[in-house]
Chains A and B, each alone.
Chain A
């Protein structure tokens, strides 16, 4: 349990730093008064506003107030959209989460079996071809994959839509495209685009781990025990391979979130990524500040979840309480 506590400490530190950067951005980079009253207000009005907002208070007090408001989800009003930031983020969040999860399912669902297969059939030409392909996959920028897919499947073949989410169904404020045919069709190209890089990464990692495990002493001893090949490969080697792979897959989820910014731009996917690109281009300070805190929070949650998961699947960690060595 000791390592979980130290991870928790680190998580809180990350959140605190993110909140402070966000606060500094909000308070000193943007002009909070403009944010509230608009450009047209008179000088006297602005001064009154400054007083009312407590902008002359000590910095620490203001930071405290900022954190207090952030905890309640109050990040102010977006310059560009004129809506409360929290509401904007909440509207866009489901689209991004849905995209990321589907992409990750594609990437792990194909990446782990392919990696294990290429490790077990090292000499075969199919394995070699897959490995070469994965090398190209690493060098392919995500946005280009998206553009090529649009060109082929939307422009030339006309099979799949190239932008938007299609028809979405709202369930208690949570929107999903998985329940309609157009929604599913709209999800195909973006999720593949987002998944390709992760797929190649997971495949190469699973392959490397599997090869390493197959060389290990306990596999040799399992062979000497006369166990069946399937038992050795899938009962022993695969289980041991999955420990580090699952860890990386968990950590990669954060990367998928970041890369969704690119995919959402290419496919005009109405998620957080598209929102934040617009926020950056229009210097929308409140939105940017809130996004920073949100993303730090997401990463913290993912990291903690991975630690818990790791401790759960590996009895050595469970007992000894050592953390994973490095991400």
Chain B
């Protein structure tokens, strides 16, 4: 059976005044049904752009310049606006970073749930309200019947993100693109919301593309990990293996930063230097200016993906299937 979602050689460009900037390039991965794929990287690495492209929500000046997105065996990146809209929310749902701003402030929570269900499902209004009530109870909102009539501002941040989860799950989608779903929340709430997301997915067999910059979240929730750097996929493989023995020096650097990242704010400082911006691309491997294992070849030739154990790594060190250099002490 083929994967639920397949992304093949995806390329997204941004039309700037004089030239085209490459936001993501040659990104390929797949997500089987029910799997949680973590997508990790620094901000600006192209994680969110990938998610946005899958949802068909790229907006000018960004556009898909190449590659294919296949969902349940059908290509979806070339669907017309209306067909893609019918798919969004129904088959592929989304959870965004900031629960404070994801909900329409002038509409009650119940109305927003009902509106979403009536758009996609062949049910009547009364049935929709019943389901909305059940969903709120399921995501752990106390006094769900009263809360249906609440406006977003009357709920706390954690409660609001639970409502956003209810909205994402309300049409029983096959895939959820969760873009930094816990980043904006208090640390104490983060784990609760993540557990809820995991539990709901497990119960329904929903697959998740979990975009985050937090390796802690990945370690806790993801079955497999895709690591992005400067618009490209640098490594992808099972979470346990990546955590234990990452092949790409960049991933190793990320791993080294895990312990401090359990505290917020200490992210990715372990690797000196900064990621190249799309308007100043680096020849060869994009990571070479920061890489401690850099070779002459890295400066001129871009590595393709090589098999390394159960993973794929885009690094010359992994060319001959040998495990990469040991993680730095």
A interface residues, Cβ below 8 angstroms from B: 216-218, 220-229, 231, 235-236, 239-240, 243, 313-316, 319-320
Contacts and interface: CB of A to CB of B under 8 A. Distances in A.
Given A224-B55, A224-B96, A226-B87, A217 B101 contact: yes
Contact of A224 (B93, B104, B107): B93
* Across the A-B interface, the 4 shortest Cβ-Cβ residue pairs: A226-B89, A226-B88, A224-B94, A217-B101
28 contacts: A218-B102, A218-B104, A218-B105, A220-B96, A221-B167, A223-B57, A224-B89, A224-B93, A225-B88, A226-B85, A226-B86, A226-B87, A226-B89, A227-B85, A227-B89, A228-B85, A228-B119, A229-B81, A235-B115, A239-B104, A243-B106, A313-B106, A314-B105, A314-B106, A315-B105, A315-B106, A319-B154, A320-B153
Contact of A239 (B57, B88, B106, B151): B106
Interface string B21-54: 0000000000000000000000000000000000
Contacts of B116: 225-227
Instruction: Give the interface SS of chain A, mostly helix, strand, loop or mixed.
Output: helix
Contacts of A220: 57, 96
A320 B57 CA distance: 34
Interface string B104-138: 11110000000110011000000000000000000
B97 to A, nearest CB: 8
A220 B87 CA distance: 15
Nearest to A223: B57
B89 A240 contact: no
A226 B120 contact: yes
Contacts of A236: 104, 107
Contacts of A235: 115
A229 to B, nearest CB: 7
A244 to B, nearest CB: 12
B223 to A, nearest CB: 23
Nearest to B113: A225
Contacts of A316: 105, 151, 153
B160 to A, nearest CB: 11
Contacts of A313: 106
A223 B88 contact: yes
Interface of B: 55, 57, 81, 85-90, 93-94, 96, 98, 101-107, 115-116, 119-120, 151, 153-154, 164, 167, 177
Given A217-B102, A218-B105, A221-B164, A227 B153 contact: no
A222 B167 CA distance: 10
Nearest to A320: B153
Contacts of B153: 315-316, 319-320
Given A228-B85, A229-B85, A319-B153, A221 B94 contact: yes
A221 B88 CA distance: 11
Contacts of B88: 223-226
A319 B151 contact: yes
Contacts of B87: 226
Q: Counting chain B CB atoms within 10 Å of each CB, which of A223, A239, A319 scores highest?
A: A223
Contacts of B85: 223, 226-229
Given A315-B153, A316-B151, A227 B119 contact: yes
A37 to B, nearest CB: 62
Nearest to A227: B119
Contacts of B81: 229
Nearest to A242: B106
Given A316-B151, A316-B153, A319-B153, A227 B94 contact: no
Nearest to B105: A316
B302 to A, nearest CB: 33
A212 to B, nearest CB: 13
Interface centre among A231, A314, A315, A316 (most CB of B within 10 A): A315
A217 B89 contact: no
Contacts of A226: 85-90, 116, 119-120
A221 B154 contact: no
Contacts of A231: 115, 119
Contacts of B55: 224
B119 to A, nearest CB: 6
Given A225-B94, A227-B85, A240-B105, 11 more contacts: A217-B101, A221-B102, A221-B164, A221-B167, A226-B120, A227-B119, A235-B115, A316-B151, A319-B151, A319-B154, A320-B153
Contacts of B103: 218, 221
